């Protein structure tokens, strides 16, 4: 082999090695389990979760009140149960037609990059809105949605065979924007059995999976306060909730029966 050929071979090997290293750096394998809750036992682990109490729902013209009653939030038979009722519950002098549950890991589980994986069985019915999502622990780039929001899974109860994955970003509301896609089961609905919902979140790239099936990749977003990959370059925490009504799903109708349950088998975070 000539000296020139040797040089070309070395250059090609160097470039290939750098390409592999760059790919590995940008897309970690996320094979180290750093946080989990299998919901064993009969009590919620308050070192990992906070139950949110909110007399005015979660915004978006939702109809429920969020309480910390075991009727709405509990651990039972190996699952976290978020349960919605039509019971005219009251908190701090405010009564609403529906009650439900919402939990979060804020300052108990906060991560920058990794795989967040949740196995859950979802409810169904017009006006029912289960969600698995993430918010920034610190609003580094400003109020919602300037600091970002990662929706791992949302579902309209009247379309129980389809889930959505969405990013919210850009300027603060009402000038924010969102981008996303949906996944439809080939047969059956998400109310029939448990399914696994996950995002793989690395620098400049977020992938969505259902039962291991990759259905969406986003690599383009923006921030009004900083350059790419802001705002998705900060620590986020996880939220699980079951909402009733609101602009995303529309009204409840007479065919929607209560109580409604969102069952969560486990939450696992890998980095």
Q: Measuring CA to CA, how many Å separate 244 from each of 43, 57, 96, 140, 158?
A: 25, 9, 11, 30, 12
Reply yes or no on whether 161 is catalytic: no
The predicted structure's pLDDT at residue 5: 47
The predicted structure's pLDDT at residue 57: 78
Task: Tell me, rounded to whole angstroms, the distance of Cα 112 from its chain centroid.
Answer: 14
Reply yes or no on whether 62 is catalytic: no
Mean pLDDT, the chain cut into blocks of 10 residues (271 residues total): 46 42 54 97 96 88 96 98 96 93 98 98 98 98 97 98 98 97 98 98 98 98 97 98 96 96 98 97
The predicted structure's pLDDT at residue 59: 79
The predicted structure's pLDDT at residue 12: 43
Three-state secondary structure call for residue 73:
strand
* CATH number, domain 28-249+265-270: 2.60.120.200
DSSP 8-class letter at 124: -
Residue 86: partners with Cβ closer than 8 Å, 6 or more residues away: 97, 98, 258
Altogether, the residues listed in the chain come to a count of 271
**Marked catalytic residue, from 62, 83, 117, 149:** 149
**Marked catalytic residue, from 154, 161, 207, 255:** 154
The predicted structure's pLDDT at residue 87: 97
Q: What are the sequence ranges of the domains in the chain?
A: 28-249+265-270
């Amino acid at each position: 082999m000539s000296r020139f050929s040797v040089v070309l071979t070395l250059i090609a090997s160097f470039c290939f090695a750098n390409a592999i290293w760059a790919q590995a750096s940008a897309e970690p394998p996320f094979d180290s389990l750093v946080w989990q809750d299998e919901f064993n036992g009969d009590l919620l682990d308050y070192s990992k979760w906070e139950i949110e109490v909110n007399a005015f729902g979660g915004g978006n013209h939702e109809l429920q009140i969020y309480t910390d009653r075991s009727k709405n939030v509990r651990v039972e038979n190996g699952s976290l149960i978020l349960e919605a009722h039509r019971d005219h519950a009251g908190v701090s002098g405010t009564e609403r037609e529906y009650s439900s549950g919402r939990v979060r890991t804020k300052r108990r589980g906060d991560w920058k990059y990794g795989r967040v994986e949740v196995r859950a069985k979802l409810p169904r019915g017009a006006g029912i809105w289960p969600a698995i999502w993430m918010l920034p622990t610190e609003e580094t780039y400003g109020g919602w949605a300037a600091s970002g929001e990662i929706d791992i899974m949302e579902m309209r109860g009247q379309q129980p065979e389809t889930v959505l994955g969405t990013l919210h970003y850009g300027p603060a509301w009402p000038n924010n924007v969102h981008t996303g896609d949906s996944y439809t089961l080939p047969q059956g609905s998400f109310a029939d059995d448990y399914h696994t919902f996950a995002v793989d979140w690395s620098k400049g790239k977020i992938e969505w999976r259902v039962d291991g099936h990759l259905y969406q990749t986003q690599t383009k977003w923006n921030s009004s306060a900083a350059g790419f990959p802001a705002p998705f370059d900060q620590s986020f925490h996880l939220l699980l909730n079951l909402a009733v009504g609101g602009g995303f799903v529309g009204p409840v109708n007479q065919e929607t029966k209560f109580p409604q349950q969102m069952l969560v088998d486990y939450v696992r975070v890998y980095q």
